[in-house]
Amino acid sequence: MIDFSIILEFLKTNWKDIGITIGIAIAALIIGKFIYVVLRKSLERLTKQTKTDVDDKILAATGRSIYAILFFVGLKIGLDFTGILDAHAEILGKLFGVVWIIIGAFLATEITSILISVYGKKRFGVGTAYLIQRLTKIGIVFVAFILVLNSFGIEVSPLVASLGIAGIAIAFALQDTLANFFSGLYLTADQPIRPGDYIKVDDNISGTVLEIGWRSTRLKTYDNNILIIPNKKLGESIITNYNLPGSKIIMNVTIDASYDNNPKKVEKVIYETAKKIRDKMDGCVKDYNPVVRFYEFGDFGLKFKVFLEVKKRGDQFVVGHELRKALYDAFKKNKISIPFPTHEIFLHKAK
């Protein structure tokens, strides 16, 4: 039980020194705040000149910590000046040590959260950045807790050893979850895929990457459905990324011409038609000249391929659609016949 009479007696006896201590703490806070506000205006002018707003966010986040530091520094000066707690100097020093650890941990959490929020989302995606942010906070709090125990002389080695054993047990129980988590870290760090990339997985799954989370990756298919793939499976699969090394791709259209046509004439018509489509369509790369190849003597006609470069994968469908229509019209205009399957039957008279 707390003997409140002792506390009341202490307050009654030392009320002047207590008032002086609190006054010094408040004065330190006011003076420090005035200096901080003046310095902050100068710092804000400097941060506005930078291209990023990270420094502005860090400057805003440090305000609460600075005020807490100023108050407790003033309180420490006041206690040292009055000496009302000199008999308890050892425990008082430990308590102030705990205060500095807590303020430092809070400041570290604020700054790391801002850095991960700004840079982590761009590099790792929202889900993974959020997970890293949470793990970083837990790590900082854990370190602060160990430092607090250590400041009071409590042996932390057995605690750390116990946590290590517990961690091994948890790792065995959650090995699939951890496998997905570390695969997610690999995907976000090595960046074989990125949000916005169109990918094909093992030749049977394809879509646009929406988000790489801590457990799974979400793909949006062409028919507007969402595929959720565990990161472990994605990390073990063969992935075709249509956006690496760039988003431009070479597309081709195949067309046949009958054997009674002149191959040189057919090639010229195809080239001129493809060139007009290139100049007309926004999805085409303008500095890429069409390439026409007569690549095979087919069963029913001469086989040609025409190649164009488009800006992104989705453009090939629209460009291919327009190019096929234009080739049909050009062949018709230039009297180039397109073959259809035919069979010749030879009848021999029996002797």
List the CATH number of the domain containing 329: 3.30.70.100
Residue 100 sits in the same domain as residue 222: no
Would you give the DSSP letter of residue 200?
E
Residue at a domain's end among 240, 257, 278 = 240
- Exposed (0-12), middle (13-18) or buried (19+): which is 188, by Cβ within 10 Å? buried
Q: Which domain holds residue 8?
A: 4-154
Spatial CA neighbour of 289 closest among 280, 279, 298: 279
Residue 64 sits in the same domain as residue 135: yes
Residue 51 sits in the same domain as residue 146: yes
In a domain, residue 140? The reply is: yes
Buried/exposed 109-125: b ≥16 CB within 10 Å, e otherwise: bbbbbbebbeebbeebb
Handedness of CA 266, 267, 271, 277 (dihedral sign): positive
How many residues can be counted in the chain?
Answer: 351
One pLDDT digit (tens) per residue for the chain, 351 residues: 555 565 565 555 656 766 777 777 777 777 777 776 766 766 666 666 666 666 667 766 776 677 777 777 777 777 776 766 666 667 777 887 888 888 888 888 888 888 877 776 666 666 566 667 777 888 888 888 888 887 777 776 666 666 666 566 555 555 666 677 767 777 766 778 888 888 888 868 888 888 887 778 889 988 889 989 888 888 888 888 888 888 888 999 999 999 999 999 999 999 999 999 999 999 999 999 999 999 999 888 999 999 999 998 889 999 999 999 999 999 999 999 998 887 777 777 766
Residue 222 sits in the same domain as residue 279: no
Is-contact 220 168, C-beta < 8 A? no
Say whether pTM exceeds 0.85: no
Residue 25 sits in the same domain as residue 136: yes
Q: What is the pLDDT of residue 189?
A: 67
Residue 135 sits in the same domain as residue 226: no
Is-contact 229 215, C-beta < 8 A? no
Tokens of 308: 């164009």
Output phi, psi for 2, to 5 deg: -85, 130
Residue 15 sits in the same domain as residue 147: yes
In a domain, residue 342? The reply is: no
The CATH number given to whatever domain includes residue 223 is 2.30.30.60
Tokens of 147: 């430092």
Q: CA-CA distance, 110 to 135, in Å (whole number)?
A: 13
Tokens of 66: 């600075």
In sequence order, the 6+-apart residues with CB closer than 8 A to the CB of 275 are 289, 290
In a domain, residue 18? The reply is: yes
Residue 196 sits in the same domain as residue 299: no
Residue 26 sits in the same domain as residue 96: yes
Q: CA-CA distance, 152 to 62, in Å (whole number)?
A: 28
Residue 253 sits in the same domain as residue 235: no
Count of domains in the chain?
3
Beta sheet of 205-212, edge-to-edge order? 226-230, 216-220, 205-212, 198-201, 239-241
Residue 85 sits in the same domain as residue 218: no
In a domain, residue 90? The reply is: yes
Q: What is the pLDDT of residue 151?
A: 77
pLDDT in tens, 205-242: 888 888 887 778 889 988 889 989 888 888 888 888 88
User: To which residue do tokens 């425990």 refer?
Assistant: 91
In a domain, residue 162? The reply is: no
Residue 228 sits in the same domain as residue 314: no
Q: What is the pLDDT of residue 127?
A: 57
